[in-house]
């Protein structure tokens, strides 16, 4: 199985999201069977997006972009894994923008991954080389079952810059992640992926898919990325 994951970040209100969905339905009416497509949406879009998806019968899977590390309780404004469990099957954790702008630590990420698994949501854990060992060590310290997680190698220099990493170098890091987790979990690459380069990553022996930020917002480009892999 190959994976294409879209990360919309803090973009698209509900009206815009539903227009995106209509467009993708007409551009990509049938998604290839060997590709799982997951869209990590803003919290505010997920419920209505799910209803529309079942109405139009498009096998897209929804995910979230973040989750609280805390359990249900007196934590004003937090969205926890229990709340998300009725809405999504996947959730990003540890994106470098959250580490940079919200000071998320490897411990926070391990706690979030644990909370997600306890609520049967698959964590999609974003990694870069400066904290690769530390992050994976924390996952083991918190008893996170890494065989139930997805991992994404996202080099900081490639995110949102239009400067993707060389696919061979990305594959070497993907091998390193595979060695450290010592398990069979999907490992993806993210960072300036487009329809022109997506297949050069997925054709590497250790890379199972791509995480797409900027180009997931454009339905035509996102559809081309999916089709480029089939």
Tell me the C-alpha to C-alpha distance, in Å, between residue 219 and each of 9, 44, 88, 191, 210. 15, 19, 21, 18, 16
- Of 22, 75, 154, 175, the catalytic one is 154
Distance of CA 93 to the CA centre of its chain: 8
Shortest Cβ 55–ligand PEP spacing (Å): 29
Residue in 149, 214, 223, 225 binding ligand PEP, rule: CB under 6 A = 214
Is 192 a binder of ligand PEP (CB under 6 A)? yes
CB-CB contact of 45 with 54 (8 Å): no
Stretch that binds ligand PEP, among 48-56, 142-150, 172-180, 212-220 (CB under 6 A): 212-220
> Of the listed 95, 97, 104, 138, which one is catalytic?
95
The closest of 81, 80, 45 to 62, measured between CA atoms, is 45
Stretch that binds ligand PEP, among 59-67, 79-87, 134-142, 190-198 (CB under 6 A): 190-198
Least distance CB 7 / ligand PEP (angstroms): 5
User: Which of 16-24, 82-90, 177-185, 206-214 is the region at the interface with ligand PEP (rule: CB under 6 A)?
Assistant: 206-214
Give CA–CA dist 52/36, Å, rounded: 18
Q: How many helices (H) and strands (E) does the chain have?
A: 9, 8
Q: Which of 124, 74, 133 is nearest to 106 (CA)?
A: 133
- Contact range with ligand PEP by CB under 6 A, out of 53-61, 101-109, 174-182, 211-219: 211-219
Q: Which position among 63, 123, 213, 219 is part of the footprint of ligand PEP (CB under 6 A)?
A: 213
Residue list 27-56, contact with ligand PEP (CB under 6 A)? none
Residue 143 C-beta: closest distance to ligand PEP, Å:
27
Report if residue 7 touches ligand PEP, rule: CB under 6 A: yes
CA 26 to chain centre: 24
Q: Report which residue's Cβ sits closest to ligand PEP.
A: 213
As measured in angstroms, the least distance from the Cβ of 103 to ligand PEP is 18
CB burial string 44-73: b at 16+ within 10 A, e below: ebbeebbebbeeeebebbbbbbbbbbeeee
Annotation says 95 is catalytic: yes
Report in angstroms the alpha-carbon separations of 143 from 107, 146, 169, 214.
Answer: 12, 9, 30, 33
CA distance 135 to 18: 36
**How far, in Å, CA of 138 to CA of 107, rounded?**
6
Q: Indicate the residue among 85 and 224 with the shorter CB distance to ligand PEP.
A: 224
221: annotated active-site residue: no
Give catalytic residues, as residue numbers.
95, 154
Applying CB under 6 A, the residues found at the interface with ligand PEP are 7, 154, 159-160, 190-193, 211-214
């Amino acid at each position: 199985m190959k994976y294409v994951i879209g990360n919309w970040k803090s973009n698209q209100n509900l009206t815009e999201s539903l227009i995106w969905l209509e467009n993708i339905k007409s551009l990509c009416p049938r998604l290839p069977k060997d590709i799982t497509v997951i869209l990590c949406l803003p919290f505010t879009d997920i419920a209505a997006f799910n209803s529309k998806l079942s109405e139009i019968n498009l096998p897209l899977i929804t995910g979230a972009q973040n989750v609280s590390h805390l359990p249900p309780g007196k934590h004003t404004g937090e969205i926890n894994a229990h709340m998300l469990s009725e809405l999504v099957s996947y959730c990003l954790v540890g994106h470098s923008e959250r580490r940079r702008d919200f000071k998320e630590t490897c411990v926070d990420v391990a706690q979030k991954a644990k909370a997600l698994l306890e609520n049967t949501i698959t964590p999609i854990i974003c990694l870069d080389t400066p904290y690769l060992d530390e992050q994976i060590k924390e996952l083991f310290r918190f008893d996170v079952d890494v065989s139930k997680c997805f991992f994404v190698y996202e080099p900081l220099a490639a995110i949102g810059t239009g400067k993707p990493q060389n696919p061979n170098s990305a594959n070497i890091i993907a091998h390193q992640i595979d060695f450290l987790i010592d398990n069979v979990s999907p490992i993806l690459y993210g960072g300036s992926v487009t329809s022109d380069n997506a297949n050069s990553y997925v054709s590497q022996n250790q890379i199972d898919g791509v995480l797409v930020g900027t180009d997931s917002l454009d339905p035509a480009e996102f559809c081309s990325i999916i089709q480029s892999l089939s």
